[in-house]
A and B are shown apart, each in its own frame.
Chain A
Amino acid sequence: MSEVLLRLDQVGKVFPPTVSASQRLGALWRILRSGRSGEGTPVLESISFEVRRGESMAVIGANGAGKSTLLKIITGVLAPSSGSLQQQGSRAALLELGAGFDPEYTGLENLRMNATFLGLSQRQVDERMDDILSFADIGASIHEPVKHYSSGMVVRLGFAVVASVSPDLLITDEVLAVGDESFQKKCIRWIEQYLDQGGTMLMVSHNMYQVQKLCRQALWLEGGRAREHGDVFDVTQSYLAWHERQDARDAASGSGHAHPELYGVSDLSVARAGDDYGGDGDDNSGEDGSVQCSGEPRLAMGEDLLIDLTLRSPDGRAPVALVGLVRADGTPVYGVASDHDDAVARMVNGEFHYRIRFTDLPLLPGGYVVRGHAMDPEGLRVHDTAEVPFTVSGRSRELGLVRLSHRWGDQ
């Protein structure tokens, strides 16, 4: 096991009340007497974890969960109210928006100052100046005061300085969200290289894709407490699932105030066209959805796929149906909504029935899922979702998701 760079043991933080003069005086007196700031609003409670050299950990959580406070404690800007923090290694660099830049001074002066914060001597700064400037790539603006910079330029400069230092512990707080596409890629390449060479990173991000790409571990903070800590995929997945439940609840409470019932999916069924489930003529036989009972529908490549979707509406207006095909791992293949094609629903027993047929199914063999969504009549928001998995069988060595019509040779 490599050495522990950072160890937090039951770290907690309480922000003392600082509004009125008497509260401030009281806090002053308590700090002078006991070295502690006393009661207040707890923002972090008993956080414990270790980061070893070469590890990368993400800190995720909703806004106000205490992520930035935690980073401030780790960098030493804030003192923990309880618990202890041990840090090995000389250099921890925090990258966040406008970190340590004085807006009145030019980029160059701030660059020098910042590099000195991070432990470079003036000579080292001079040696690395060209690298820093070319990494930042902000041209002559380096001689302008930082207050004239765009937020992207500030991050460019900050990142360039940190990149030149190669800190023992790199701490980033949502910086990648600001730079433009190409700079983001440059930063991610640099971070990957830094991690490959044994660098250690703590990262706060709301971008789960970046988190999964760059980190092995994740810590999920909720309300100042560690809700989950462990492998990055486990933690991010439960975090995202939590968000989805949260969204569903919000959507339910948000749209339900006028009509207690939502636009919903009553039934979704998938069938191979031409089998017992029905062709164009005999709709009535298919209404009971007999196919679902016989396990996962299977069809061969090139057959017709028939999807029946029954939606309910609380107000008698026809909901928009959205039908999507995704591969079993969630990769989207195709999606289409009834309002794209001006398809009209058929009323059956007060519900809205949509049928869609994909002819000559070009999906390559594999597992797929049909998703049927109920949207509001304006087609703006998805209110309900149902899924039915199905399998496409066939003998084909083609690669990818779908067969594209093609022709070899000159004609």
Chain B
Amino acid sequence: MKPISHDLEFLGQLIVRDIRGRFVGSASGWLWVLVTPLLLLAVYGFVFGVIFSARVPEDLDVPFIAWLAAALWPWLAFSEGTLRGAQAIRQHGSLISKVALPRHLLVIASTTAVFLLHLVGYALVLAVLAGFLGVPILVSGVPSLLFALATLYVYALGLGLGLAALQVYVRDLEQFVPTFFLFWFFMTPIIYPPDMLPDTMAYWMMINPMSNWMEVVRAGLFHGQALPGWSDALVMIGSAVLALIAGGWLFRRLSPFFEEFL
């Protein structure tokens, strides 16, 4: 009915509003986008790198903290993007019950805003690591990195849409999903290399697509692998498309009744 360009403009406005909304009333809002993940990085780096003396994989010669940072930002973008997308409908409940707006745009805007913010932080951190700390980050891996981030974004969108729709009906998800993501974080090779997992858990690695993303990102940045291998690419595209189809279907099916259940 309405032209797509209008939807896009509207989406752009929602994204700007979402980003601004996070900083309204905080003096150094932009700083926190960078500071919070950096603190997280410091904590994990200290606990796992120093206390548990976690090691990077044998064949790599990069500091643990750099190796951790390369995977931490994509994970944060993914988990925070999915979670905020999932909350978007409940968060904008009063708007939804008043205005007939394209509801999926609210979810997309929330997820996109998170990705944009963390992308900026990621780029800065990588630049600092390479420029000032002399960590060997290979530019030839950028296409692979961009592919990983793009598919990760679609994956987060799909999950966010599906969860946002379900959360309206099943309030318990609001408690459950963040906890699940914490569990997911530790079950994904982010703070440890995949070969540290016992063989019995290899099955989990098989069904957790996030380990493919982490592998591909690190292989790109530290080994300079320009494009992901076929199997990785297949898992990533497959997961992203599957999530988007399932999430989109759930959302389309459930969204006409949001108002009654909000």
Q: Classify the interface of chain B: helix, strand, loop or mixed.
A: helix
Hey, which chain B residues are within 8 Å of A152, CB to CB?
A: none
| A389 nearest CB across to chain B (Å) | 50
Bitwise interface map of A from 90 to 133 toward B, beta carbon under 8 Å scored 1, else 0: 10001010111010110001001100110101100000000000
Contact A15 B260 (CB under 8 A): yes
With A24-B261, A31-B253, A116-B10 already in contact, the answer to whether A96 and B169 are too (CB < 8 A) is: no
Contact B259 A72 (CB under 8 A): yes
Contact A121 B169 (CB under 8 A): no
Contact A122 B259 (CB under 8 A): no
B254 within 8 A of A: yes
A204 within 8 A of B: no
Bitwise interface map of A from 1 to 45 toward B, beta carbon under 8 Å scored 1, else 0: 000000000000001101001001101100110010100000000
| A17 nearest CB across to chain B (Å) | 10
> Within the assembled complex, what's the spacing in Å between the Cα atoms of A389 and B248?
71
B9 within 8 A of A: yes
Contact A121 B97 (CB under 8 A): no
**Which residues 1-53 of B have a CB within 8 angstroms of A?**
1-2, 6, 9-10, 13, 17, 21, 24
> Within the assembled complex, what's the spacing in Å between the Cα atoms of A76 and B254?
14
Which residue on B lies nearest to A87, using beta carbons?
A: B1
Hey, which chain A residues are within 8 Å of B261, CB to CB?
A: 16, 18, 24, 27
> Within the assembled complex, what's the spacing in Å between the Cα atoms of A104 and B101?
19
Hey, which chain A residues are within 8 Å of B98, CB to CB?
A: 77, 94, 96, 98-100
B229 within 8 A of A: no
- Per the CB 8 Å criterion, the residue count for chain A at the interface is 35
Hey, which chain B residues are within 8 Å of A117, CB to CB?
A: 10, 99, 101
Hey, which chain A residues are within 8 Å of B9, CB to CB?
A: 116, 121-122
| A47 nearest CB across to chain B (Å) | 18
> Within the assembled complex, what's the spacing in Å between the Cα atoms of A79 and B256?
6
A164 within 8 A of B: no
Hey, which chain A residues are within 8 Å of B6, CB to CB?
A: 119, 121
With A77-B98, A77-B259, A90-B2 already in contact, the answer to whether A32 and B172 are too (CB < 8 A) is: no
Contact A105 B21 (CB under 8 A): yes
21 residue pairs A–B, Cβ–Cβ below 8 Å:
A16-B261, A18-B260, A21-B170, A21-B172, A24-B169, A24-B171, A28-B166, A28-B169, A31-B254, A32-B253, A35-B253, A75-B100, A77-B96, A77-B259, A94-B99, A104-B24, A113-B13, A113-B17, A117-B10, A119-B2, A122-B9
